[in-house]
Structure 1
Amino acid sequence: MDHGKHRAPAHYEAGEGCLTTLIRIPVRIVVLVIVLPVRMVWDALVVGARATDRILLRPLGRALSWLLATLVVIPAVWLYEAVLTPLGHALLWLAAAVFVRPWVALWRYVLVPAVRYGLVVPVVWLYEAVLTPIGHGLRRVYRELLAPAGEGIAAAVGWVLTALFVRPVVGLWRYVLVPLALAASWLAEHLIVRPPAWAYRELLTPLGHGITWLLELLARGIAAVGSGLWAAVVWLVLTLLVAPLGRLYRRVLAPVGREIAAAFGVAWRIAGYISRAVGRAIAWLAWHLIGAPVTWVCRTVCTPVGHFVRDAVWAPAKRAAVEAGRAARAALRTARETVARARRDAWRALVGGPRASEPREPGSPLARRLGVTQQAMIVPSAAPEPEISSLGEKNAERG
């Protein structure tokens, strides 16, 4: 027996019925028709946004950043470093010199010495030299004279006050007021407090318990009737309203909503495939109609023409320009040298040239001269020089 015929479909889900199977394909077709233009517009916008970002926004952003750095940041940094910082230091120094240092000097060199030597030092001296000895003397006088006399006077005054005021008041309180208060409290307890307490305990409490029992019975009856009515109302609502709505949601609305959501997902993916295929077709057409001819023209026409122009026109013109530049620089150099030579000759003709130095034999520092015999004595192997002075040699040559 082939058990594969009785298997469930691949996309079968529990709870699907015939309604789900019937509405799936039409809903997906309708949703695909609705979603396809939206997906194609979305893909076109995405491609346009990427192309705009790559071709326009990034170069524009780099240009704006460079322009901002060149026109704003660098001048601002230069202004801050070259102008504002020295100006701030100067203003800070000026503010310190005008506002801070005078007040500090006034506080340090005027107010503090004035307060210290004009107030604190005299007050401290007065306290230490005058008030402290006076206080010590007054304390000794109080301790030696006034304290013993004061203790005797206080004891006498206390005995007199006790005899005149305290003992009569204590006797009045103990022997008159306390007995009267006890009698009044006994009368109040037996005439006022005990009769209401007996009435509350023997009459009102049983009566309140009976009333409470009756009210509890009445409340229980009402609660039983109300609970029955509430249960009936709840059963009716559940049976007539909630159960049909639940079946409607579970059997109709949930499958329809699930299928619509799945149809949107499937239609979005299918629309993406279709949009990509359309985009590839448009790109293929654009390449074969525009890109390939332009590439062929560039490769077969423009490139050879450019190479010909580069090799036959641009390179000879460049070499000729280089040679002309070199010739012009050589001519300018020759002209400068000629002008400089003519200027020197004119200056020599007007002023006269420097005296030419006469040729002479190079002298050896170790050679012996007139009047200098120590070197020959120190260095015996030195070659002797003709014993004639350089002045005499010059005169002889001139003669």
Structure 2
Amino acid sequence: MESDGDDRRPARYAPGEGWVTVLVRVPVRIVVLVLVVPVRLVWDVLTAAGRAVHRTALRPLGRGLARLGRALIVRPLAWTWRTLVVIPLTWLWRRVLAPVGRGIGAAVVWLLRGLLVVPARWLYRYVLGPLGRGAARLARGLGAVLGTLVRWTVIVPAGALWRYVLGPAARLTVAVVTVLVRETGAALGHCWRAAGILSRALGRLLGAVLRWTLVEPLRRLYRGVLTPVGHAIRDGLWRPVRQALRTARATVRQTRREIRRALVGAPRAPRPARAVVPRREPAGSGTRTLGKKSGRDVSPPARG
């Protein structure tokens, strides 16, 4: 079996494990394996289908809808909000509400200072301050007495109860829960990998079954039956038919030419093309050139 790059061997457990670990491990792994294998198979199928749908449909559709939404909704709404709400409210705040608020704030501060702050300061200095200091001294004395009483009636018994009863029970519970969670996680990991191996093996088995039950018979049918039949049809029927059609067309063309020759006559031979002579330099015996003058040869005599 091909390796997928991850270590499929179960991790070895540390030596010296307790009896709780050994007791919990095997049942938890059996239950988790039974529950996880179908879930892993369904998960693989759904993951493949989801990736295909997301890649081919959802991603292009989402991009198109996002662009359309920005063009048709976001930008018009932003422009409308800025034009009809933000700019008028900003002007109203700067020109009207801020000056009115500063004036009202100053008046309220003056009224609060005259009606509340000054009387409250006098009341605190001459009435509440002395009463508060006396109450604080009384509360410190009562607090010391109550603290001593609470310590010896609540804290000391609670500490002894935690140290000798609740603490050991809590540690044992935490140890059991930790072992259970650790074994469950390890079992989930191993069973998930085992389910992946089973899923891939099932996929290969289905591929092999499909290949040997459908693909290979069709391929052998094509090679062993359809191809020879096609070649026989091409060589025995189609080629003679094409040759006969070509011969028939050639015969028809020849017959048509013979009938035309008998009725109309043989076609005329094409006339030879005339040589184009420049008009400014006509050729002939009476033409005046550099070596001739009105038909006479004026070339110098040859020297002896």
- Bigger share in helix: 1
TM-score (normalised: structure 1): 0.38
TM-score (normalised: structure 2): 0.47
